[in-house]
Amino acid sequence: MASLREIQSRINSTKKTSQITKAMHMVSASKLSKAELNAKSFNPYMEKIQEVIGAIAAGAPDATHPMLESRPVKKTAYLVITSDRGLVGAYNSHVLKAALGKIRERHTSKDEVVILSIGRNGVDFFNKLGYNVIQSVIGVSDHPTFAEIKDITREAVGKFIDGEYDELYMYYNHFVSAISQEVTEKKVLPLTDLSSMKSTASYEFEPSAEAILEVLLPQYAESLMYGALLDGKASEHASSMTAMKAATDNAKELIDDLTLSFNRARQAAITQEITEIVGGVAALE
């Protein structure tokens, strides 16, 4: 049985840990509020650009662009969005497990796969497994701007247009609520769902639909990736908040258990001392 000093030491260290996790919970809650606002604020832009592209698809069905063309799939790219740090619960493990499961399901060789990663956990995970991580971004801020990831998004689109890979899938955690996030797979390229983008507005294209698509389609694909990052950041902060709350609650339970053990051990020690005194007195009589 542990000594009173050992138990007291564990109680003190656990209290300090609970103070840290409680502070981290409060910080994550504050970050979540802004991250959720950022993700929601981006939706009107995505809705408008989808509306314009939908109008082009409806008004000029014969318009062509490399990003719209499906071709035989020889190599597939996967953009995986994770966090740079830990202490975020199952946030990283869920998205990495889902991405790896689909990769192994679809491909028989690692040569058919290239990885693009936003977040240190994704980079380390796929490098360790021997996959070809051709692009990565590490150190994205808690409330990222497009400038932070513009290089990887533009390179991702450019490499698809150049034929370096034939598909691009994206994996990230979709924010549902503070206690619920869903791993989401989205096919970014080729853009094969333009017909599903309904538009009630009427547009005139100048100089032509093809010229507008040349500019608009890369922006749309890049926006999909940026929107997923904003969504993922909200999920990351929510997962961190939940994990820190659980850690704080567990610490409190452990403190209660240790305090009970401490009181029992102290009672036993006092009882032992009284017994020894009574025994000593009895021996003197």
| pLDDT per 10-residue tile (average), the chain, 285 residues | 78 89 90 89 84 73 76 92 88 93 91 93 93 91 90 91 91 88 90 64 69 83 91 92 90 88 80 74 65
- The C-alpha angle with vertex 53 and arms to 49 and 55, in degrees rounded to 5, equals 115
- The C-alpha angle with vertex 215 and arms to 210 and 221, in degrees rounded to 5, equals 110
| Long-range contacts at 264-267 (CB < 8 A, ≥ 24 apart) | 265/1, 265/2, 265/3, 265/4, 265/7, 266/4
Q: What is the reported pLDDT for 2?
A: 66
Q: What is the reported pLDDT for 113?
A: 93
d(CA 123, CA 144): 18
Q: What is the reported pLDDT for 197?
A: 60
Domains of the chain, first to last: 25-242 (3.40.1380.10)
Q: How many CB atoms lie within 10 A of CB 108?
A: 7
d(CA 177, CA 235): 8
Q: What is the reported pLDDT for 282?
A: 66
pTM of the full structure: 0.84
Q: How many CB atoms lie within 10 A of CB 204?
A: 6
